[in-house]
Amino acid sequence: MEITVNGKPELLNREINLEEFIDDKGLSDSKVAIEYNGEILQPAEWQEVVLTAGDVLEIIKFVGGG
């Protein structure tokens, strides 16, 4: 199935929830914000969302520095 992540197509070979997807990408839930099909989700909601064909994700990673 194909989803869109930050404007680019990405193929998924299995059903996966958003939390697993983020973990597989090596992203920390405390340092990212996710927009799922136009709605910003809280990390507590990620486990409930199962990605399906056509979903659109925007992932913003926060970076500290000075």
pLDDT tens for residues 36-64?
999 999 999 999 999 999 999 999 988 77
Q: Which CATH number fits domain 2-61: 3.40.710.10, 1.10.287.110, 3.60.60.10, 3.10.20.30?
A: 3.10.20.30
pLDDT of residue 66: 63
Which spans in 4-66 are helix H?
18-24
CA 24 – CA 14 distance, rounded (Å): 13
**Mean pLDDT taken over the chain:** 92
One-letter amino acid for residue 39 of the chain: E
DSSP designation for 35: E
For residue 4, pLDDT beyond 90: yes
pLDDT of residue 30: 72
Pick the more confident residue, 51 or 65. 51
Instruction: Report yes or no: 32 and 59 within 8 Å, Cβ to Cβ.
Output: yes
Instruction: Report yes or no: 27 and 60 within 8 Å, Cβ to Cβ.
Output: no
